[in-house]
Structure 1
Amino acid sequence: MTLPVSPTSISAQISRRKCLIRLSSGGMLLLFSEYASAGGQLEEPLMDSVRTALGSAIANHAPPVPEFKDSESKIAYLRWMGAMSERLKKKMPELQIRQEFLQTVWYESKRAGLDVTLVMGLIQVESNFRKFAVSSVGARGYMQVMPFWTRVIGDGDPGKLFHMQTNLRFGCVILRHYLDRERGDNFLGLGRYNGSRGRAPYPEAVFAAQRSWLPGDRALG
């Protein structure tokens, strides 16, 4: 059972240090140079209707293939992919993995009604684009999703949070949920995502990282 963790204890526990993580899915040992620097959503009671809606939002496992209403939208997407792929090259050297990641981020962001640059900024702060990142409070993957979410709105298997699309799907749906709870307020929504609602450091870090992913042509955002 995952117990709620206070924002104070989260900030006290999140430190830059070495850790050895055993991945239950493959029995592998991976050495990370540091914990993920963020990630600590707090488990809160959800109304049945909200739980059902969130569960439905993460249930569809169709391939993340973007659809476009016209050729201009498709061209904008391809230009975005090219520009972002170049910026992400140092963090994800393998082209195929990088393209799959960007396509999935685009798809899941648009699906959840989120600004893709905000999601990219959040991922940078949460995991620095590391698929197998684990925080000191147990948050997992690119978007540092807390395992309790798989029990609350998923199938109960936290190991799936290391799967690219699953992690990005959960993260985007959860962020959308928090933004809706805060009536679209990015500052408060991001704080809730991090378990530090009302505190400035985390939202400000995401906003700063977001600027790194703004396209030169604003029409690509």
Structure 2
Amino acid sequence: MNRLPRALLSRLRQGRFAALPRTAAVLALGAGLLAAPAHAGNQKEEALGDSVRVALSNAIHDARPPKPSFSNPSERLRFEQWLGEMSERLKRKLPDAQSRIEFLETAWYEARRAGLDPGLVLGLIQVESAYRKYAVSIVGARGYMQVMPFWTNVIGDSDRRKLFNMQTNLRYGCAILRMYLDMEGGNLYLALGRYNGSRGRPEYPNAVLAAWNNWKHAASAVAAR
């Protein structure tokens, strides 16, 4: 499995994602606030160090298709169980079976590649676009993960149309969320706020964390390489 470049991971990452959800959830739920309707993504353009920008660019431009591999049969079995369960849950949103399986396989691959829980990514997509491939927000964010077009200039080839490509959109979204998570020292609550352009406000992080509960599954922790 192709992971994000070491330059990005070594500069940004302070710990694997698996150690973060429980702390983040406590921070969010402990606020005692109900999740209000969330608005689609509005990431802010920020000054990035050259090494971070180059690493993100390299990650985005890895054109190899998602080909997960497994170190043993039990890992493959757990992934297949996850895929079957998530496919059943997603039927109403994505009724075409082939498209739904392709979407889930890609979401799983890109999430794990970025060191994220696939269930978190699915929850974020639920809040951001309600699984609409061609969703466009009032601020111009595009696709499943509502990626702002300026990112194609910062780390891409300036072709905004590619944000409607499934794998491209998921790769951008996962890489950007991973970067925000590392920028916030592993604080998922703040990273989600930054992803939405509402850092410090509870509505969006709480909405995503609540949606994440709809997509949790023991097999989501399956390790891939």
Residue correspondence of structure 1 range 89-100 to structure 2 within 5 A: 89-100=91-102
Q: CA deviation at 1:37?
A: 3.4
Correspondence for 1:37: 39
Q: Could you tell which deviates more after superposition, 87-96 or 60-69?
A: 60-69
CA distance in 1, matches of 2:158, 2:54: 15
Listed one character per residue, the Cα deviations across residues 148-205 of structure 1 (whole Å, up to 9, x for unaligned) are 0000000110100000000000000000000000011100000000000111000000
After superposition, the CA RMSD in angstroms is: 1.2
Q: Check conservation: 1:134, 1:141, Cα contact below 8 A.
A: yes
C-alpha change, 1:126 and 1:68, in structure 2 (3 Å) is same
Residue correspondence of structure 1 range 61-100 to structure 2 within 5 A: 61-100=63-102
Where structure 2 has 5 or more consecutive residues not aligned to the other structure, the ranges are: 1-36
Q: Please, which of 160, 174, 187 is the counterpart of residue 158 of structure 1?
A: 160
- 1:147 has 2:149 as partner: yes
Q: TM-score, normalised by structure 1?
A: 0.82
Higher strand share: 1
Q: Check conservation: 2:119, 2:220, Cα contact below 8 A.
A: no
Residue correspondence of structure 1 range 1-221 to structure 2 within 5 A: 37-215=39-217, 218-221=218-221
Q: Which has the higher relative contact order, 1 or 2, with Cα contacts under 8 A spaced 6 or more apart? A: 2
> What secondary structure is seen at the aligned counterpart in 2 of 1:85?
helix
Q: TM-score, normalised by structure 2?
A: 0.80
Correspondence for 2:23: none
**Structure 2 residue identity aligned to 1:115:** D
Q: Check conservation: 1:127, 1:144, Cα contact below 8 A.
A: yes
> What secondary structure is seen at the aligned counterpart in 2 of 1:97?
helix
Q: CA deviation at 1:219?
A: 4.1
